[in-house]
Amino acid sequence: MGWSGMRGAVSLAAALAIPLQTQAGAEFPYRDLIIFLTYTVIFATLVFQGLTLPFLILRLGVKDEGNEARIAELDATVQATHAALEKLKDICDDESIPARSQERLREIYEERIRRYESGLEAGHVTDEYRESSEAWIRWRRELFDAERDTVVTLRDKGEINADVMRRVERDIDLEELRESG
């Protein structure tokens, strides 16, 4: 609820709080009119604001830069991910990294590129990109939660102490933060 809706709710609550009768036992004068006028003013204010906002935005020349900024972000992320893949090739050539680790890292970066490029291909954030990103975030969150639950269970069973649990949770938190970017 927006700020004006909140103020309207408070105004309506105040109008409804007017007692039905005065202390003398007489009907409170104009109570129904006060409630009606309060409701009418709230309704008119919300409708007027809602109907005039698009015209105000056009008049002020406000532009939606959200999509342009998001496309620029996707493009930069794709370029950065390509750079990481190139660096991975250099590292793998210079150092003895197990083939399985190399392949796993390559798959992670290639999947990122595929997801980000699906948004760039259409020139905007596509439904496919949005859905795959939301699913990815949801899956990763569930996996991180499973890791945390396991660590707490290990601590509860006495298999690890609280310090070990906190260090492992810190690593999980850092990885989650790194992925949420």
Q: What is the pLDDT of residues 14-71, one digit of tens each?
A: 888 888 888 888 898 998 999 899 888 888 888 877 778 777 777 777 665 656 777 7
Look up the pTM and report it.
0.42
State yes or no: pLDDT of 125 exceeds 60.
no
Domain ranges of the chain: 3-60, 66-125, 130-181
Give residue-wise pLDDT tens across range 150-166: 999 999 999 999 999 99
Angle in degrees, 0-180, between the axes of helices 162-180 and 127-156, rounded to the nearest 10: 180
* Residue 126, helix vs strand vs coil: coil
